[in-house]
Amino acid sequence: GPVERSVLRERKGFVRLALRHGVPVVPVYCFGEAQLYRQSQFLFGLRAWVQRSFGVAVVLPYGPCGLPFVHFPEKLSLVVGAPVEMLRIAEPSKDDVDKHHARYIVELEQMFARHKDAAGYG
């Protein structure tokens, strides 16, 4: 079946900004997004090296008949969770960011679990 993957475990800058400004972070997930395109293997080794070395992903997505910018027909299901409130901390420490990022991840995972069956990912 379809596979869904989140890459937020090490991406914490959005939580740092939310803490600096004391604004909530709203968990949002789009089921089916990963199935819209396939990823070309052309120059995969070089592209992987660029990503590891510079932190920039060089993607080569394609859709039906190998066409770029044309996606496969897939059902999308967008779910929006309750805002995760953030304290206002002018200069959040790494521990502050880690703690509040973990709260966000828990909410996102719970939201995913609540909606995966209805979205066809059970």
Distance CA 36, CA 31 (A): 10
Q: Are 43 and 14 in contact (CB under 8 A)?
A: no
Q: Are 105 and 9 in contact (CB under 8 A)?
A: yes
pLDDT for the residue numbered 10: 84
> Looking at the predicted structure, is the pLDDT value of residue 6 above 80?
no
Average pLDDT over residues 107-113: 94
Q: What does pTM read for this prediction?
A: 0.80
| 6 φψ region: left (φ > 0), alpha (ψ -120 to 50), beta (else) | beta
How buried is 103 (Cβ within 10 angstroms: 0-12 exposed, 13-18 middle, 19+ buried)? middle
CB atoms within 10 A of CB 20: 14
Write the CB contacts of 40 (distance below 8 Å, at least 6 apart in sequence): 60, 61, 62
Write the CB contacts of 13 (distance below 8 Å, at least 6 apart in sequence): none
Neighbour-count burial for 91-100, b at 16+ CB within 10 Å, e otherwise:
ebeeebbeeb
Determine what percent of the chain is predicted with pLDDT higher than 70. Answer: 98
Q: What is the pLDDT of residues 37-80, one digit of tens each?
A: 998 999 999 999 999 999 898 999 999 999 998 999 999 999 99
Confidence of residue 1 (pLDDT cuts 50, 70, 90): low
